[in-house]
Structure 1
């Protein structure tokens, strides 16, 4: 009997030990999976750009997450990019206390959705792309860029000399005068380009000296942009000499963008801090996707209501700009509507322009009456030329609680006959002490 009980106990012990061993093995296996789920470029070989692309391919369909750490395996603390990082659907890039910089060889974006680019004439939609910074993250333009500015800017090695001659449509670039190199800027000069993307997130990054627009969105739906700081002056230092790097907007929201949430954006830009632009500057010229001779990677024209810009919420903006804090411009039948601006602090460098622009002249055909409508602004503090300028026949736009710190300016400036606008109000809105 005792021997029988002993056999049972020994048998149970063996069974229990097998379960424990199996559990430990499974735990080890799970730990192994957790370990291999973290994909970083440091486990691959090649240039920084090549290693980041290899990491994206390794993560695609598995963890769908790539972490770019502060320390580069090449011994530096910087990731130097020779071409754009192309982002597929369902991909998160975690920027962990790191610095990414465009190299002096690069003539491309820093990040771009992989569904668009030169020669891609029929892009499909991408989904669920995130670029998330943790800690101190910096995205920088090149020290000595090959090209800067928009598609109408001629590259030059001495911008000051050209400006003194009256040639103001110029921008710096080392490709100037080189045979076989494109001699004007284009959409590749924009630091981050997302087009035909649904669900995009960008959070907690510092952006320094982009080559043109810092963030460009085309036909993008459901975007969340937050905790972004810009240092993006027009004049950049190249080998101890100041050079013009033109069209240095912060955020550009273009044709067909919908459902944006923009919050807690700070810093300084050499051009508009935030621009909502639906402009067909040359309406008689055909527009195509993937055209390298453009400031947009998709067709820069309005093709119906699907290309309206709508439902844009802009909150908690503290900015300095030579131009506007928020500029809303549309041409012809392009619609921009349901825009909400709240808590804007605007310092107009040189006090040449207004905190908010409604409309815009000189960008193709005049905006059709009412196509820009339902724009709301509240809690605005500015020291620019004015709080608000109206330049198009806008409808149903309302503003309240605006203080113009310098008493010389006006609360609202109409650069259009007042009879052309409809139902535009500004309450408690004007110079301090005169409201």
Structure 2
């Protein structure tokens, strides 16, 4: 009897230990599952649906997704048919992956989810990040339906000669029931009304227009970015032309930006700061017929561009363009380290780089009022284009220091093509033009 009692007790102890161990394993598995990254391979559907499903599942839980190199469909590329919409508090980790717009896509690759067609009253998003790990490439379509910034007419035969007809390549050209002008959907990454944004360690190739653009975005960090966005691409042994291909664009209301370590082959500005209003027909949000996704109207200081810090920039074409119109203001911009040097292996647009740094606007909307482009500090720049620093509007309280102009077209390092009597408090320090015989 005693033997059976001992045996029963021993059996109970073993059973209890097994249950405890099993419970521990289950808890560990649950904890590991909770910590496991959410990714598109966890879902079904096409690539776009799976990535968006991952974002939706992560919202309010992990607030993070990881797009890996390997696609569950057996490829190592992710094809996007429509914009991936990113909510607040979302981090997208790109892990050694290639993401490409499909030939059927006429949309952004990534967009903040608070902005889009018909969204007339966008609310603020916050804290969105796109972070690359390893080698990450974001690519335009192989044969895009539409390219070009605002008001470009789609064409199958866009030409390289100054693009006087304002055309840009797109397979939608001439097709019935297809919009024949380009618009903001051609921008690869588009953020609007976002407070807190990061984009780090990615390469962007053959964007359909501006590669990365911001409208009314605050507190952003852009770093370690490589752009290959010339104003052409080769398709079936034929060169096609796309206009215009800025790398980074800051529009109305962008404030507190840190932009560092950018290398670019660009077809227009490497970095553009543009507060440009072309008329009341563009004063609504979510307008598919506009060149911006939000209103271009300047309503006051909240729409000024200010406190932008730009460092360590290398480009083959134009460097930093600062343009405002009418009552818009751009101020407190700090530029330290921009090199513009032509690449002999890349066809430069038009007649070569017109400037390393541009201040002013005489081409878009009304010219800016005197002094509204102010407190611009430019230092440690090198340029070989038609101008190094090109001043086209009456600026105020600016300093240009330590610049080397290696071009031959301009008389000196700074070119003024505006009424100098309206310019106030501009200081030039240690700016030189290198004689042609020592180049």
TM-score (norm 1): 0.92
Following superposition, the deviation at residue 300 of structure 1 comes to 1.5
SS at structure 2 position matched to 1:366: coil
Distance in 2 separating the partners of 1:63 and 1:196:
23
Deviation, structure 1 residue 433: 6.0
Question: How far apart are residue 318 of structure 1 and its match?
Answer: 1.0
Question: 1:126 aligns to what?
Answer: 125
Tell me whether 1:280 sits opposite 2:277 in the alignment: yes
Give the CA deviation at 1:70. 0.4
| Structure 1 position 414 matched with structure 2 position 408 | no
The 1-side partners of 2:291 and 2:187 are apart by: 8
The reply to whether residue 330 of structure 1 matches residue 331 of structure 2 is no
Aligned CA-pair RMSD: 2.3
Q: Look up the match of 1:101.
A: 100
- Report the Cα offset of residue 284 of structure 1: 4.6
1:422 positional shift: 0.5
Change over 3 Å in CA distance of 1:20–1:382 after alignment to 2: farther
Q: Does 1:34 align with 2:28?
A: no
Could you say what secondary structure the match of 1:386 adopts?
coil
2:429 is matched with 427
2:385, 2:409 within 8 Å by CA — same for their partners in 1?
no
Number of residue pairs aligned between Structure 1 and Structure 2:
420
Runs of 4+ in 1 over 3 A off after TM superposition: 17-28, 163-167, 348-352, 406-409
Does residue 250 of structure 1 match 2:247? Answer: yes
Q: Distance in 1 between matches of 2:93 and 2:299?
A: 36
Q: What does the per-residue CA deviation read over 1:186-219, in whole Å, with 9 as the maximum and x for residues that have no partner? A: 0000000000001000000000000000001000
Distance in 1 separating the partners of 2:363 and 2:234: 31
Residues 1:286 and 1:236: Cα distance change in structure 2 (over 3 Å): closer
Call closer, same or farther: CA 1:368–1:144 in 2, change over 3 Å.
Answer: same
Farther off after superposition, 27-36 or 327-336: 27-36
Choose 117-126 or 398-407, whichever is displaced more.
398-407
Rounded Cα–Cα distance in structure 2 between residues aligned with 1:373 and 1:421: 10
- TM-aligned CA distance change 1:26 to 1:221, over 3 Å: farther
- Is the contact between residue 47 and residue 79 of structure 2 (CA under 8 Å) also seen in structure 1? yes
Q: Which residue of 2 aligns with 1:303?
A: 299
Structure 1 residues 333-359: Cα deviation after superposition (integer angstroms, max 9, x where no partner) = 101111000011112545441100001
- Matched with 1:393 is 394
Separation in 2 of the partners of 1:206 and 1:425?
Answer: 37
In the alignment, the residues of structure 2 paired with residue 286 and residue 265 of structure 1 have an alpha-carbon distance, to the nearest angstrom, of: 31
- CA 352–137 in structure 1, closer or farther in 2 if over 3 Å, else same: closer
Tell me, yes or no, if the aligned pair for 1:354 and 1:387 is still in contact at 8 Å: yes
Q: Distance in 2 between matches of 1:414 and 1:284?
A: 31
Deviates more, 1:346-355 or 1:79-88: 346-355
Task: Give CA deviations for 1:373-405 in whole Å, capped at 9, x if unaligned.
Answer: 000011111111222011111110101111112
Residue-by-residue CA offset, 1:281-306 (whole Å, 9 max, x unaligned): 2x353510000011210012211110
Report if the CA contact (8 A) 1:94-1:134 is conserved: yes
Distance 1:338 1:165, change over 3 A: closer
Measure, in 2, the Cα distance between the counterparts of 1:313 and 1:26: 51
- Bigger drift between 106-115 and 284-293 goes to 284-293
Deviation at 1:143, TM superposition (A): 0.4
Residues 1:213 and 1:286: Cα distance change in structure 2 (over 3 Å): closer
1:2-51 alpha-carbon deviations (Å, 9 max, x no partner): xxxxx9xx99x969x97997587446524433334311101111010000
CA distance in 2, matches of 1:43, 1:289: 35
> For 2:274, what is the secondary structure of its paired residue?
strand
| Kept in 1: contact 2:63–2:90 (CA 8 A) | yes
Residue in 1 that maps onto 2:345: none
Report the Cα distance in structure 1 between the residues aligned to 2:352 and 2:192, rounded to whole angstroms: 34
Instruction: State which drifts further: 418-427 or 350-359.
Output: 350-359
Q: TM-score, normalised by structure 2?
A: 0.91
Match of 2:74 in 1: 75
Change in Cα spacing, 1:284 to 1:51, as seen in structure 2 (3 Å) is closer
Tell me the residue number matched to 1:184.
Answer: 181
Identify if the C-alpha distance between structure 1 residues 331 and 20 changes in structure 2 by more than 3 Å, giving closer, same or farther. farther
User: Which residue in 1 is equivalent to 2:114?
Assistant: 115
Write the distance in 2 (CA, Å) between the matches of 1:418 and 1:172: 40
Aligned equivalent of 1:359: 360
Counterpart Cα distance in 2 of 1:251 and 1:426: 27
SS class of match (2:198): strand
Q: Distance in 2 between matches of 1:56 and 1:269?
A: 31
Q: Distance in 1 between matches of 2:23 and 2:326?
A: 67
Is the alpha carbon distance of 1:258 and 1:75 closer, same or farther for their aligned partners in structure 2, counting shifts above 3 Å? same
Bigger shift: residues 119-128 or 421-430 = 421-430
Match of 2:3 in 1: none
Q: Provide the C-alpha distance between the structure 1 equivalents of 2:413 and 2:16, rounded to a whole number of angstroms.
A: 80
The answer for unaligned runs of 5 or more in structure 1 is: 1-6
